Amino acid sequence: MKEAVAGELAAAYHSKLVDDVRTAGFRHDKGRLTVHLAREFGFCYGVDRAVDYAYQAVARFPGRNVFLTGEIIHNPHVNDRLRANGIKFLSDPDERGRHLGPDDVVILPAFGVTVEEMKRLSDLGCTLVDTTCGSVLTVWKNVVRYAQDGFTAVIHGKLKHEETRATASQASKFPNGRYLVVLDREEAAIVCEYIRKRGDRNAFLARFGQAVSAGFDPDVDLARIGCANQTTMLMSESLEIEQMFRDAMRERYGEAALAQHFRAFDTICSATQERQDAVIALLEREPVQLMIVVGGYNSSNTCNLARICASRVRTFHIADPECLLSADRIRHRPVGLPSTAPPSEVVTENWLPAEGRVIIGLTAGASTPNNIVGQVIETLERFTGTA
């Protein structure tokens, strides 16, 4: 079945131009334009597999309704193509409340679904096509182990992100399983302060009430913690947060007892890490005038790539080539907003040098297909008068 859909996938997402740029050392020169492409960018192995499975599901179950629980990945083009391919999205307004049964096929996305959702769909007798990425499953395995051993999973992630909700729900596989989600260093610092000195329990619950498991008691449930992450967070921040918790637990319980109170493991997926490392390497190597980061505005890993770039050079996070309005105007998402914030865009004028050489760095999030990256390069060629 994989072979049967391979042609369709290539036609939908492949770009010869991007292949050529890759072959030319991730550099594209045309007239006054130079584009430096990050050495790791775009579709990751988990997304590749999820999209492949979705196309295979349509081919394997002809005549049956095929559903997705929601976006398969955070890229509007890929989701729209799947809709055009006949897959219905249970998150779309006209499909909400749809009654599912044994005749229905339901695809689970790369970032997984909650334990409750999985049970609900299984109980309904649906045929499930599970595309949950192996890297996400590794995190789940550790969270389950934490719950089994009486450790609270402290998850660095975005509370509203599907993956973090699914990961947190894994703790519920054991009756006393607990979790707490922290978004950033600031929230981690508040929790660490509580670990060190205790504090106002009610104030703690008022602040983190939405981010903890039912019945969470900070005076009890922060005594043994295990760190985990949403796989697409900024790796440097996740490592820093892990260290903050390690230090707080060491202060509270002492070095000798640390292992009884604190656990951690590396849960940033290799694809996320490689894309973050590649963009840092690009910016250290090449004197780019500006950086373009392509990917869905609700894509966590894309937003984090944009954050890395913006700390070093003028950066524009765009969803697709249509955001490149003209040589004078670009529509983009302000960098720094979390991916779960409502989508918002601004238009910046005079973003491209009008004369002389134009040297642009380019990368794309793990859910952005190559054809979109290729179209961005073609648009840049047009705007610099080289197409």
Sheet of strand 88-89: strand arrangement: 88-89, 66-68, 105-108, 127-130
Supply the minimum distance, in Å, between the C-beta of residue 17 and ligand SF4.
24
Work out whether 46 is an interface residue with ligand SF4 (CB under 6 A): yes
Q: How far apart are CA 86 and CA 103, in angstroms?
A: 16
> Which structure tokens are listed for 382?
């047009």
Work out whether 330 is an interface residue with ligand SF4 (CB under 6 A): no
Q: Among 329, 317, 322, 324, which Cα is nearest to 293's?
A: 317
Do 64 and 103 touch, CB atoms closer than 8 A? yes
Identify which of residues 162 and 242 has a Cβ nearer to ligand SF4 in the complex: 162
CB-based contacts of 75-81 (< 8 A; 24+ apart in sequence): 75/295, 75/296, 75/299, 75/365, 75/367, 75/368, 75/369, 75/372, 76/296, 76/319, 76/320, 77/320, 77/369, 77/372, 78/13, 78/51, 78/367, 78/369, 81/12
The correct pick among 18, 110, 195, 327 for binding ligand SF4 (CB under 6 A) is 110
Identify which of residues 45 and 253 has a Cβ nearer to ligand SF4 in the complex: 45
Supply the minimum distance, in Å, between the C-beta of residue 27 and ligand SF4.
26
Which string of b and e fits 176-196 if b means at least 16 CB within 10 Å? Answer: ebbbbbbbeeebbebbbebbe
> Which structure tokens are listed for 318?
């765009």
Identify which of residues 45 and 265 has a Cβ nearer to ligand SF4 in the complex: 45
Work out whether 135 is an interface residue with ligand SF4 (CB under 6 A): yes
Work out whether 228 is an interface residue with ligand SF4 (CB under 6 A): no
Identify which of residues 249 and 269 has a Cβ nearer to ligand SF4 in the complex: 269
Supply the minimum distance, in Å, between the C-beta of residue 148 and ligand SF4.
23
Work out whether 136 is an interface residue with ligand SF4 (CB under 6 A): yes
Binding segment (CB under 6 A) for ligand SF4, from list 19-27, 40-48, 117-125, 254-262: 40-48
The correct pick among 229, 231, 238, 276 for binding ligand SF4 (CB under 6 A) is 231
Work out whether 47 is an interface residue with ligand SF4 (CB under 6 A): yes
Identify which of residues 248 and 269 has a Cβ nearer to ligand SF4 in the complex: 269
Distances from the Cα of 374 to the Cαs of 265, 311, 328, in angstroms?
37, 25, 20
Residues binding ligand SF4: number (CB under 6 A)? 15
- From 163, 237, 240, 378, active-site residue: 163
SS3 69: coil
Identify which of residues 140 and 146 has a Cβ nearer to ligand SF4 in the complex: 140
Q: Among 99, 169, 103, 160, which Cα is nearest to 136's?
A: 169
User: Among all residues, whose Cβ is closest to ligand SF4?
Assistant: 46
Which positions from 352 through 371 interact with ligand SF4, judged by CB under 6 A? 366
Which positions from 78 through 107 interact with ligand SF4, judged by CB under 6 A? none
Q: Within 13 Å of residue 120, how many CA atoms lie on the same side as its CB?
A: 10
Helix boundaries (H) for 254-356:
258-261, 270-285, 300-310
Work out whether 232 is an interface residue with ligand SF4 (CB under 6 A): yes
Is residue 163 among the annotated active site residues? yes
Identify which of residues 33 and 51 has a Cβ nearer to ligand SF4 in the complex: 51
Work out whether 166 is an interface residue with ligand SF4 (CB under 6 A): no
Catalytic center residues: 163
Instruction: List contacts with ligand SF4 (CB under 6 A).
Output: 44-47, 110, 133, 135-136, 231-232, 269, 271-272, 301, 366
